[in-house]
Amino acid sequence: MLALEIDNLYKRYDGGVEALQGISLEVKEGEFFGLLGPNGAGKTTTIGIITSLVTKSGGTVKIFGIDIDKDFPAAKRMIGVVPQEYNFSIFEKVEDIVCQQAGYYGIPKQQARENAEKYLRQLGLWDKRHAAAQTLSGGMKRRLMIARGLVHEPRLLILDEPTAGVDVELRRGMWEFLAKLNASGITIILTTHYLEEAELLCNQIGIISGGKLIENTSKRSLLRKLDKETFIFNTKEPITHIQSLQPFDWRVVDDTTMEITLSKEESLNHVFTLLDNQNIVIESMRNKTNRLEELFLEMVEK
């Protein structure tokens, strides 16, 4: 079953900007789909159309088979949305914000409270339930929006940059939460700037650039397209002299750091042999950027 089916989606804003130029996209039920793209690529517009905040100029959108032009309320019941920017009343209490949202979906008060408690506890906000939203930290506000997006138990959760501005520890906690949520059967669509996040969580990736979908495939097949990778090597002793590391593309960054780029056909063993021959001892190594990021930049810059 398809959780989301977008066909030939167009959006032209009043000023004449063509934000979407015929995007077609399918997300299967149970997938963790990453929608990537540079700023202004059309990610938020796409999400806006799916959630009714933006009016489309053309094309069709179906949520679990329901055409939004035919029965938007039924489609909306299956969607939970976590927007990029805070959009709750800062003067209201945490629990009230979540319960009200449940009410807007027609969930009776008692059930709304039970659902709110479930998600506020899971997201570590239960102790803050009586606090006004304006007193929460940035990370808590993000988690509040996730709890609010889940309170009506949607089958499809859409998150627009959910970890923007969240510290590393909280981000990892959120990743864990989202992975569990997806494992429980909820389809997730995520837009993010952190490609590490997409590589870790998503099994399907779509890349939007300039209002067009330039890639839509599984993460595995996408990463296979990566034809070179850059590694950072840290040496045990300062590099005093070094001979050429041909055929590799290499450069010394500082006393104890160097960058070496390998193509798909080359092996790390060869690199280590060349370094070993020069008595350079490697203490640690890592990817310069994550693999998806490297590929993303390559595709978007084309």
3-state secondary structure of 16: coil
**Is 46 near another protein (CB under 8 A)?**
no
Min. distance of Cβ 73 from another protein in angstroms? 4
- Taking residues 87 to 116 in sequence order and writing x for each that binds another protein by CB under 8 A, - otherwise, the string is xxxxxx---x---xx-xxxxxxx-------
Cα atoms in the Cβ-side hemisphere of radius 13 Å centred on 149: 28
> Across the beta sheet with 66-67, what order do the strands follow?
18-28, 2-12, 58-63, 66-67
Q: Between residues 109 and 225, which has the closer beta carbon with respect to another protein?
A: 109
* Dist. CA 186–CA 152, nearest whole Å: 13
- Tell which positions 215-254 bind another protein, by CB under 8 A: none
Min. distance of Cβ 71 from another protein in angstroms? 10
Cβ-proximal residues to 182 (8 Å cutoff; 6+ apart), any chain: 30, 32, 188, 201
* Dist. CA 302–CA 294, nearest whole Å: 13
Residue indicated by tokens 């490297």: 294
DSSP 280: P
- Tell which positions 2-21 bind another protein, by CB under 8 A: 13
Which residue stretch of 78-86, 235-243, 275-283, 290-298 sits at the interface with another protein (rule: CB under 8 A)? 78-86
Min. distance of Cβ 113 from another protein in angstroms? 12
- Look at residues 206, 228, 215, 224 and name the one whose alpha carbon lies nearest to residue 302: 215
Min. distance of Cβ 116 from another protein in angstroms? 13
Pairing of strands 79-82, 156-160: parallel
Q: Between residues 16 and 238, which has the closer beta carbon with respect to another protein?
A: 16
Min. distance of Cβ 94 from another protein in angstroms? 14
Q: Between residues 136 and 195, which has the closer beta carbon with respect to another protein?
A: 136
**Is 74 near another protein (CB under 8 A)?**
yes
**Is 159 near another protein (CB under 8 A)?**
no
Pairing of strands 187-191, 156-160: parallel
Q: Between residues 70 and 225, which has the closer beta carbon with respect to another protein?
A: 70
Residues near another protein, by CB under 8 A: 13, 48, 51-55, 72-74, 76-77, 79, 81, 83, 85-92, 96, 100-101, 103-109, 148
